Amino acid sequence: MTMGSKEDYKQSNEVFMAFIADQDDVKTLEGGVMYRVLNEGNGCCTANPRSVVSCHYRGSLISGEVFDDSWERGCPEAFRVSDLIEGFQTALCHMHKGDHLEVYIPWDKGYGKRAAGSIPAYSTLIFEIELIQIS
Protein backbone atom coordinates (compact mmCIF):
# COMPACT_ATOMS: atom_id res chain seq x y z
CA MET A 1 0.00 0.00 0.00
CA THR A 2 1.51 3.33 -0.95
CA MET A 3 1.52 6.27 1.45
CA GLY A 4 -1.15 8.01 -0.63
CA SER A 5 -3.45 5.00 -0.48
CA LYS A 6 -2.89 4.69 3.29
CA GLU A 7 -3.88 8.32 3.71
CA ASP A 8 -6.92 7.79 1.46
CA TYR A 9 -7.89 4.70 3.47
CA LYS A 10 -7.46 6.59 6.75
CA GLN A 11 -9.60 9.44 5.45
CA SER A 12 -12.36 7.09 4.22
CA ASN A 13 -12.50 5.53 7.69
CA GLU A 14 -12.73 8.96 9.32
CA VAL A 15 -15.53 9.98 6.93
CA PHE A 16 -17.38 6.76 7.82
CA MET A 17 -17.12 7.54 11.55
CA ALA A 18 -18.44 11.08 10.96
CA PHE A 19 -21.40 9.60 9.06
CA ILE A 20 -22.12 7.13 11.90
CA ALA A 21 -21.90 9.92 14.50
CA ASP A 22 -24.79 11.71 12.73
CA GLN A 23 -27.17 8.76 13.13
CA ASP A 24 -29.97 9.41 15.66
CA ASP A 25 -29.72 6.02 17.35
CA VAL A 26 -25.93 6.08 17.82
CA LYS A 27 -24.38 7.01 21.16
CA THR A 28 -20.77 8.05 21.73
CA LEU A 29 -18.47 6.83 24.51
CA GLU A 30 -15.07 8.14 25.56
CA GLY A 31 -12.36 8.05 22.94
CA GLY A 32 -14.86 8.35 20.11
CA VAL A 33 -16.12 4.76 20.39
CA MET A 34 -19.74 4.69 19.22
CA TYR A 35 -22.49 2.14 19.50
CA ARG A 36 -26.03 1.29 18.48
CA VAL A 37 -28.23 -0.84 20.75
CA LEU A 38 -29.58 -3.90 18.95
CA ASN A 39 -31.09 -5.44 22.11
CA GLU A 40 -30.90 -4.37 25.74
CA GLY A 41 -29.98 -6.98 28.31
CA ASN A 42 -31.29 -7.18 31.84
CA GLY A 43 -28.05 -7.58 33.76
CA CYS A 44 -27.51 -5.35 36.77
CA CYS A 45 -23.76 -4.79 36.53
CA THR A 46 -21.23 -3.83 33.90
CA ALA A 47 -17.84 -5.35 33.16
CA ASN A 48 -14.61 -3.72 34.32
CA PRO A 49 -11.05 -4.14 33.01
CA ARG A 50 -10.38 -7.07 35.37
CA SER A 51 -13.59 -8.90 34.42
CA VAL A 52 -13.61 -12.04 32.34
CA VAL A 53 -16.45 -11.89 29.85
CA SER A 54 -18.06 -14.41 27.55
CA CYS A 55 -19.49 -13.00 24.36
CA HIS A 56 -20.39 -13.66 20.80
CA TYR A 57 -19.01 -11.15 18.35
CA ARG A 58 -18.47 -10.45 14.69
CA GLY A 59 -15.74 -8.06 13.57
CA SER A 60 -15.80 -6.34 10.20
CA LEU A 61 -14.29 -3.44 8.30
CA ILE A 62 -16.21 -0.52 6.77
CA SER A 63 -16.11 -2.44 3.46
CA GLY A 64 -18.25 -5.14 5.09
CA GLU A 65 -15.38 -7.65 5.05
CA VAL A 66 -15.68 -9.88 8.13
CA PHE A 67 -12.36 -10.66 9.80
CA ASP A 68 -13.61 -12.66 12.82
CA ASP A 69 -16.95 -14.26 13.74
CA SER A 70 -17.63 -16.34 16.86
CA TRP A 71 -21.19 -17.09 15.70
CA GLU A 72 -19.73 -18.72 12.60
CA ARG A 73 -17.49 -20.85 14.82
CA GLY A 74 -20.54 -21.79 16.91
CA CYS A 75 -18.91 -20.96 20.23
CA PRO A 76 -18.75 -17.73 22.25
CA GLU A 77 -15.31 -16.48 23.29
CA ALA A 78 -14.07 -15.67 26.79
CA PHE A 79 -11.66 -12.78 27.37
CA ARG A 80 -10.18 -10.75 30.19
CA VAL A 81 -11.36 -7.27 29.26
CA SER A 82 -7.92 -5.71 29.85
CA ASP A 83 -6.38 -8.03 27.22
CA LEU A 84 -8.43 -6.51 24.38
CA ILE A 85 -7.88 -3.46 22.16
CA GLU A 86 -8.81 -0.18 23.82
CA GLY A 87 -12.06 0.41 21.91
CA PHE A 88 -13.37 -3.09 22.64
CA GLN A 89 -12.55 -2.56 26.35
CA THR A 90 -14.44 0.75 26.33
CA ALA A 91 -17.53 -0.89 24.83
CA LEU A 92 -17.51 -3.91 27.14
CA CYS A 93 -17.14 -1.72 30.25
CA HIS A 94 -20.45 -0.04 29.33
CA MET A 95 -22.35 -3.25 28.59
CA HIS A 96 -24.68 -5.23 30.82
CA LYS A 97 -25.20 -8.99 30.64
CA GLY A 98 -27.48 -9.70 27.69
CA ASP A 99 -26.74 -6.45 25.83
CA HIS A 100 -26.37 -6.82 22.07
CA LEU A 101 -24.66 -3.84 20.46
CA GLU A 102 -23.14 -2.77 17.19
CA VAL A 103 -19.91 -0.97 18.13
CA TYR A 104 -17.81 1.36 15.96
CA ILE A 105 -14.18 1.66 17.03
CA PRO A 106 -12.09 4.45 15.49
CA TRP A 107 -8.73 3.39 14.08
CA ASP A 108 -6.77 5.01 16.93
CA LYS A 109 -8.66 2.90 19.52
CA GLY A 110 -8.18 -0.28 17.49
CA TYR A 111 -4.93 -1.35 15.86
CA GLY A 112 -3.86 2.21 15.03
CA LYS A 113 -1.14 2.78 12.46
CA ARG A 114 -0.23 -0.90 12.19
CA ALA A 115 -1.88 -3.73 10.31
CA ALA A 116 -3.06 -6.80 12.22
CA GLY A 117 -3.45 -9.91 10.07
CA SER A 118 -6.04 -9.07 7.39
CA ILE A 119 -6.90 -5.74 9.10
CA PRO A 120 -5.15 -2.81 7.39
CA ALA A 121 -3.61 0.06 9.33
CA TYR A 122 -6.05 2.94 10.08
CA SER A 123 -9.07 0.63 10.06
CA THR A 124 -12.33 1.50 11.74
CA LEU A 125 -13.51 -1.72 13.39
CA ILE A 126 -17.19 -2.61 13.51
CA PHE A 127 -18.14 -5.21 16.08
CA GLU A 128 -21.51 -6.77 16.72
CA ILE A 129 -21.21 -7.91 20.35
CA GLU A 130 -23.60 -9.95 22.48
CA LEU A 131 -22.46 -10.05 26.12
CA ILE A 132 -23.39 -13.41 27.58
CA GLN A 133 -21.61 -13.51 30.95
CA ILE A 134 -19.48 -11.33 33.24
CA SER A 135 -17.28 -12.85 35.95
Rounded to the nearest integer, the mean pLDDT of the chain is 95
Helical residues (DSSP H) of the chain, grouped into ranges: 3-21, 70-73, 86-92
> pTM of the predicted model, to two decimals?
0.94
Which fold, 3-134? Chitinase A; domain 3 (3.10.50)
pLDDT at residue 43, as a whole number: 83
pLDDT tens-digit map of 33-80 = 999 999 999 888 889 999 999 999 999 999 999 999 999 999 999 999
Cβ atoms 110, 126 nearer than 8 A: no
Per-residue confidence band for 2, with pLDDT thresholds at 50, 70 and 90:
very low
Q: Give domain limits for the chain.
A: 3-134
pLDDT at residue 1, as a whole number: 47
Q: Does residue 81 have a pLDDT over 60?
A: yes
Cβ atoms 109, 89 nearer than 8 A: no
